[in-house]
Structure 1
Amino acid sequence: MTLATIPPRLQVARAITLKNPWAHLIAHYGKDVENRSWMPWDDVNTLLIHAGKGWDRGPEFTRRTDCGDPHTSAIVAVADLAFACNTSRYSDTVRCGCGEWAQPGQCHWKLANVRALREPVPTNGRQGLWRPAPDILAAVANALP
């Protein structure tokens, strides 16, 4: 598959690396908000969800034992960025209505149309939003359901 045959939305997609269980929860369990301290760029419409090597062992979440081992160092899903909200970014008490996954004091990236890949696409992650290489985009396009 060449860059010209990759769907246009994937050609301009950005990837974001998340620790598990968060990437796995987005791909398979309906987590529809990504919490960040910053807003996404205005031109970001499609996100590739990359599961990093790390595991977030925060007190608010314990590892699920009924979902197998989440993949790491791989793109696991594609999602549309529906909108981003910074209503509660500077307050731990202001609620914005972005849903149960939205954390106070954060920017909320509302995800829609999440599609878990049939097979994860192995690749190294990076901090911030990053653009995957054309061969990675082609592999993601081939792995979409």
Structure 2
Amino acid sequence: MEEMKGLTIRQPWATLIALGEKKLESRSRRTHHRGIIAIHAGKQIDKNAYERFAEVLKTYGIHSMNDLPVGVVVATAEIKRCHEIVEDYKEYALSNQDVVIDGREYQYGFYEKGRFGWELDNVYALPEPIPAKGQLGLWGWQIPEEIQAFISKSCS
């Protein structure tokens, strides 16, 4: 069985990534990892975040917190770069690569000076969420055989 790194993210953030709405994952630590990871929706739902972004989620058919999958891998994504946040203002942040994080993307993260934005690209939502037990940080996920072909195709 093949393995890839996984990243556990609370809901609704994991779903926003799977939908292609959220392109950066804000973290307190940098990552040197580059490449494909599994996006795992943790078992906790941030209720305040759900309420803040309920209108966006409704456009994708998610009408309640009960519609958010938990304890499952919902997508794969590629970590392209890691941006250190060097300035944080009311409506945008600036990374050390002079990338401005603004608008809805700014609202989707916590971009305080000294934090990091993990840039995600090539996001592929899985056809069906796959149950998995997540962990803190990047962890090894054994890719189930029945979806290895899909994962291989989406990651190439």
Same fold (TM over 0.5): yes
Equivalent residue in structure 1 for 2:34, among 30, 40, 44: 44
Mapped contact 1:120–1:143 kept (Cα < 8 A): no
8 A contact 1:81–1:111 mirrored in 2 = yes
**Residue 25 of structure 1, aligned match among 5, 8, 16:** 16
- 1:6 match: none
Residue 63 in 1 paired to residue 62 in 2? no
Query: TM-score w.r.t. structure 2 length?
Result: 0.71
Instruction: Report the structure, 1 or 2, having the larger helix content.
Output: 2
| TM-score normalized by the length of structure 1 | 0.76
Could you list the runs of 5+ residues in structure 1 that have no partner in the other structure? 4-10
Alpha-carbon contact 1:33-1:98 (below 8 Å) kept: no
How big is the shift at 1:132?
A: 1.1
Task: Provide the identity percentage.
Answer: 28
CA distance in 2, matches of 1:50, 1:139: 18
CA distance in 2, matches of 1:137, 1:98: 38
- Is 2:131 the partner of 1:132? no
Q: Does 1:95 align with 2:85?
A: no
Q: Calculate the aligned-residue CA RMSD, in Å.
A: 2.4
Q: Show structure 2 runs of 5+ residues with no match.
A: none
SS of 1:124's equivalent? Answer: coil
Q: Quick check: 2:94–2:101 contact (8 Å CA) kept in 1? A: no
CA distance in 1, matches of 2:85, 2:145: 36
Cα deviation, residue 29, structure 1: 4.1
Residue-pair matches, total:
131
- Superposed, 1:64-83 pairs within 5 Å as 64=55, 66=58, 67-68=61-62, 69-83=67-81
